[in-house]
Structure 1
Amino acid sequence: MRRSVSFYLVVIALLVGMLAACGPRPTPVETPPPATEETAPPQATEETETPEVEKSPVEQWAEAVRAEYEGTELRIAVASHPSIEAFKRMTPRFEELTGIKVIWDEMEEGVLADKLLLDATAGTTSYDVVMTCPEFTPALVDLGMLEPLDGWIQDPDKTPTWFDYEDILAAYRDMLSYHGQHYGIPFAGETVFLFYRQDLFDKYGVEVPQTMDQLLETAAFFHGKEEGLSGISMRTRLGWEFTYMWSVFIFPFGGRIVDPETGEPQLNAPETVASLEYMIDLLQYAPVGVESFSFPEAWDAFMQGKTAMMIEASAAAPEVENPEKSVVAGQVGYAPMPAGPAGAYSGVWGWGLAMTAGSEQKEAAWALITYLT
Structure 2
Amino acid sequence: MDRSFAVFVTGARRYANTLLLTSSLVATSAAFATSAPAETVNWRQFEGTSITWAYDIHPYADALAAELPEFEKLTGIKVTPELYPDDSYWNKMTIQLTTRSSAWDVFGTGIQPAWDLAPSDALEPLDKYLNDPKLTDAGYGYNDFFPSLRAALTWKMEDGQIATGERGQTWAIPHAFENIQLFYRKDLLEKYKIAVPTTPPEMAKACEELKAADPSITPLGVRGVRFWSSIHTAAISIARSYDVHDFVIKDGKLDTGLDSPESIAFHKDYVDMIKKCAAPSFANDNWYQVVDGISSGSTAMAIDSNMFGFWNDVAGKPASGKIAFAPPLHAPNATNFDSNIWIWALAMNAASEKKGAAWLFMQWATSKQVALKGALAGKLVNPPRTSTWQDDAWIKYASQPEFNNFVDSFKKTQDHAALAFTPRVGFGEAMNAWAVAMQKMVNGDDVETTLKALAEEIRAGL
TM-score range, shorter chain: 0.7 to 0.9
Aligned residue in 2 for 1:365: 358
Contact 1:233 1:310 in 2 (8 A): yes
Instruction: Give secondary structure in 2 for the equivalent of 1:189.
Output: strand
Aligned residue in 2 for 1:75: 52
Contact 1:147 1:355 in 2 (8 A): yes
Instruction: Give secondary structure in 1 for the equivalent of 2:243.
Output: coil
Match for 1:257 among 246, 265, 270?
246
CA drift of 1:288 comes to 3.0
Contact 2:155 2:169 in 1 (8 A): yes
Amino acid in the other structure paired with 1:234: V
Instruction: Give secondary structure in 1 for the equivalent of 2:343.
Output: strand
CA drift of 1:76 comes to 1.5
TM-score (normalizing by structure 1): 0.79
Q: Tell me, in whole angstroms, the C-alpha distance in 2 between the residues paired with 1:128 and 1:226.
A: 51
- Higher relative helix content: 2
Deviates more, 1:77-86 or 1:307-316: 77-86
Deviates more, 1:285-294 or 1:177-186: 285-294
Aligned residue in 2 for 1:239: 227
Q: Tell me, in whole angstroms, the C-alpha distance in 1 between the residues paired with 2:223 and 2:130.
A: 35
Deviates more, 1:258-267 or 1:355-364: 258-267
C-alpha RMSD over aligned residues: 2.2
Q: Tell me, in whole angstroms, the C-alpha distance in 1 between the residues paired with 2:51 and 2:318.
A: 38
- Per-residue deviation, residues 72-112 of structure 1 (Å, max 9, x unmatched): 22212212333222111111221233232222222344533
Aligned pair 1:314/2:306, yes or no? yes
Deviates more, 1:327-336 or 1:96-105: 96-105
Alignment of structure 1 residues 1-373 onto 2, 5 Å: 56-61=31-36, 67-179=44-156, 180-223=168-211, 225-226=213-214, 228-245=216-233, 246-260=235-249, 262-284=253-275, 285-323=277-315, 326-341=317-332, 343=334, 344-373=337-366
Deviates more, 1:147-156 or 1:101-110: 101-110
Q: Which of the pair has more CA radius of gyration?
A: 1
Q: Tell me, in whole angstroms, the C-alpha distance in 2 between the residues paired with 1:99 and 1:234.
A: 45
Distance 1:342 1:184, change over 3 A: farther
Deviates more, 1:220-229 or 1:349-358: 220-229
Amino acid in the other structure paired with 1:193: Q
Q: Tell me, in whole angstroms, the C-alpha distance in 1 between the residues paired with 2:93 and 2:333.
A: 36
Equivalenced residues, count: 318
Contact 2:238 2:329 in 1 (8 A): no
Instruction: Give secondary structure in 2 for the equivalent of 1:206.
Output: coil
Q: Tell me, in whole angstroms, the C-alpha distance in 1 between the residues paired with 2:197 and 2:346.
A: 36
Contact 1:133 1:176 in 2 (8 A): no
Gaps of 5+ in 1: 1-54
Instruction: Give secondary structure in 2 for the equivalent of 1:274.
Output: helix
Distance 1:86 1:59, change over 3 A: same
Contact 1:198 1:331 in 2 (8 A): yes
Amino acid in the other structure paired with 1:266: G
Q: Tell me, in whole angstroms, the C-alpha distance in 1 between the residues paired with 2:170 and 2:43.
A: 27
Instruction: Give secondary structure in 2 for the equivalent of 1:328.
Output: coil
TM-score (normalizing by structure 2): 0.64
Distance 1:280 1:263, change over 3 A: same
Distance 1:196 1:58, change over 3 A: same
Contact 2:200 2:329 in 1 (8 A): yes
Gaps of 5+ in 2: 1-29, 157-167, 367-462
- Per-residue deviation, residues 12-39 of structure 1 (Å, max 9, x unmatched): xxxxxxxxxxxxxxxxxxxxxxxxxxxx
- Per-residue deviation, residues 277-334 of structure 1 (Å, max 9, x unmatched): 333322232223221222122111111111110001122233122336x431211110
Q: Tell me, in whole angstroms, the C-alpha distance in 2 between the residues paired with 1:218 and 1:107.
A: 38
Instruction: Give secondary structure in 1 for the equivalent of 2:53.
Output: strand
Percent identity of equivalent pairs: 26
Deviates more, 1:345-354 or 1:142-151: 345-354
Aligned residue in 1 for 2:369: none
CA drift of 1:197 comes to 0.5
Aligned residue in 2 for 1:46: none
Instruction: Give secondary structure in 2 for the equivalent of 1:241.
Output: helix
CA drift of 1:274 comes to 3.3
